Amino acid sequence: MATKIRLQRHGKKSRAFYHIVAADTRAPRNGKFIEKLGTYNPNTNPATIDIDFERTLSWVQVGAEMTDTARALLSYKGVLHKNHLIKGVAKGALTEAQVEEKFTKWMEEKEGKISTKATGLEKDATKAKADALKAESEVSAARAKEIEAKNTPVEEVVEVTAEEAPVAETAEAKVEEAPVVEEATPVAETAEAKVEEAPVVEEATPEAKTEEAPKVEAKEDEQPTEEEAKPEEPKA
């Protein structure tokens, strides 16, 4: 009977949870199994793997086959590495003490990497939470300002526009007064017209004198000459 180490799927549809089992290769995936070796939960970060190390190692040593996922999990937990070191003892390359020393050192390095990753993930999660709270506070402050702006009385806005309106009207009035000043120029033209009329009056005066002068000469002509002025002698 061929034996295979594989995973049996459990859990909800979106949150799968697996059992690591040793089962007959002819059995269905979630069917009958020989022995449960551990569990695998991929929903956590890093993934949670609980495994019976000694029983899993014994199944590997007797030649149990493994699915790809099961092989990756056993390698992650060090089962395959321990099996490799034990084979070195069988060949005479290593002693059992050396195997334990090497495997302990390997496990410490592995656990250090896992703890470093977990710490980094925790820090990232804390930072992400702080950033989310900061962004939420900024959004809340912006909404509060919008609400305050909406609740501001409309009358104040009307008063401000009412105060600005007279200023605009005054400016328009000043602009309208400018043409009035320009229209005053015809007054100057009237004055020029009066000044131009003055010479006409002055010219009329010489003409009057010229006309009177002949009248005076005419009177002088009408006066009797000295001969005519003499009295006539009485006739005898």
Task: Determine the average pLDDT of the residues in 31-53.
Answer: 91
* Four-way CATH pick for 3-91: 3.30.1320.10, 3.20.20.70, 3.50.50.60, 3.30.230.10: 3.30.1320.10
Beta strands in 14-102 (DSSP E): 16-24, 35-41, 48-51, 65-66
The domain locations on the chain are: 3-91, 95-167
End-to-end CA, the chain: 213
| pTM > 0.85 | no
Q: Which residues neighbour 4 within 8 Å (Cβ) at sequence distance 6 or greater?
A: 22, 23, 24, 25, 64, 65, 66, 67
- The span from the CA of 138 to the CA of 127, in Å, is 17
Bigger pLDDT: 169 vs 59 = 59
Tens digit of each residue's pLDDT (9 = 90 or more) over 54-93: 999 999 999 899 999 999 999 999 999 999 999 888 888 8
- The span from the CA of 72 to the CA of 81, in Å, is 12
The DSSP output letter for 18 is: E
Contact in structure between 46 and 118 (CB atoms under 8 Å): yes
Tens digit of each residue's pLDDT (9 = 90 or more) over 114-137: 888 888 888 888 899 999 999 999
Contact in structure between 59 and 48 (CB atoms under 8 Å): no
pLDDT band at 30 (very low <50, low <70, confident <90, very high): confident
